[in-house]
A = this chain, B = another copy of it.
Amino acid sequence: MSIITSVDTSDVRFPTSLQLDGSDAMNPDPDYSAAYLVIRTDAEDGLEGHGFVFTIGRGNDVEVAAIDTLAGHLLGRNVEELLGDMGATSRLFMHDSQLRWLGPEKGVMHMAIGAVINALWDLRAKREGKPLWQLLASLSPEEIVSLVDFRYLSDALTPEEALEILRAAEPGRAEREARLLAEGYPGYTTSPGWLGYSDEKLARLCREAIADGFTQIKLKVGADLDDDIRRLRIARETCGEGFPIAIDANQRWDVADAIAWVKALERFDITWVEEPTSPDDVLGHAAIARGIAPIPVATGEHAQNRIIFKQLLQADAIGFMQIDAARVGGVNENIANLLLAAKFGVPVCPHAGGVGLCEAVQHLSMFDFIAVSGSKDGRVIEFVDHLHEHFVTPVVIDNGNYRAPLAPGAGAEMHASSITEFSWTGSHSGRKVSA
């Protein structure tokens, strides 16, 4: 038996605003940041659990404060008990009635809980000597169902239905795991599409994306319609007819604006329209989906929890679900999201534009392929080539595919030297831009 002896937090901020990487219609100057935690125990194995909340700068300190408050729930606790029943452990945090008032299940406190849950999964995966995707894909359907909080889901997905989905995917697990290890999992790249780039840079990055083996790109839109038309024309001409190009408005529009704007771009053959409006607006997304059909709507990087995803699916509002590893209540809630998507037959294409998000979310898509949806069809994981060098096990992209990570853990561990170098001191002065 071992106990948790420390939860150390760090306010890590990379000065990405000094370049225009990551610039979109709503986020002109993000500083990609992480409210980061390390869980340590008194076990002789010396293993640690690492997790983080991704933010874009100001307020990262508030996320750190939220994680610090949660540390009180962890210190001194029996590690084997926590890790042995991660469903109960998740509920321990989610159902705390006083903390729940701060959401419920949304925003700063919910993301902090997610980071803690993810750090515990990281520790468990390291203890079992497996990458997280493989650990999750080795659980029985019953064990997976026990991880999910079905509260508020039962009108769309019951535990029995979830079990059916998981049992139906059981027979092919070994074969799909072999395929995953051989082929990897397809990625798409957002790197060409940031708003701050020149036309020349856009065209060059489109060519590079294709040369690198990516089979889809994405462009940020929504700041200026004429610019969007020009940039989409360049992208379409450079990539050629039929090459999948998605667009991303980052919540810029109201319902009528979204429909009109997308109509003006539809001639460019759009794969999906991402975040057309407020992430809270289920009915708005549904109205937009009807208005721009057959172009599908995609959203999720800001969907606060499984209850929003449930409704987006119930309302036929999305053609793609974009889970995020660090927005919801961690691995457990994302398993609920994967099961909901499978129930409604909607492909999951995770969001990963940020720091550490590619490293973290790939595990969920790979688990989905092996044990939930059983399919890679129509599914791609976002890839943005930012800041990977700060991670101990950075993602490996091979001809446009995420190679399945083999190192034990959940992928979130940052180099100690990066944490030290980019710990926030109140200004970016004297810092190098890390690209």
Contacts and interface: CB of A to CB of B under 8 A. Distances in A.
A98 interface: yes
Complex copy number for this chain: 2
Contacts of A29: 97-98
Interface in A8-58: 26-31, 55-58
Interface string A65-80: 1100100000000000
A62 B65 CA distance: 6
17 contacts: A27-B98, A55-B102, A58-B69, A59-B109, A61-B69, A62-B66, A62-B109, A65-B65, A102-B108, A104-B302, A105-B280, A106-B106, A108-B109, A152-B281, A155-B254, A155-B287, A280-B308
A105 B30 CA distance: 17
A interface SS class? loop
A255 interface: yes
B58 A65 contact: no
Interface in A148-194: 151-155
Interface of A: 26-31, 55-59, 61-63, 65-66, 69, 96-111, 151-155, 251, 254-256, 277-284, 287, 302, 304-305, 307-308, 310-311, 314-315
Contacts of A282: 282-283, 311
Given A58-B98, A280-B305, 13 more contacts: A28-B97, A55-B102, A59-B69, A61-B69, A62-B66, A62-B69, A102-B107, A104-B279, A106-B107, A108-B109, A152-B284, A154-B255, A155-B255
Contact of A108 (B31, B55, B62): B62
A97 B28 CA distance: 7
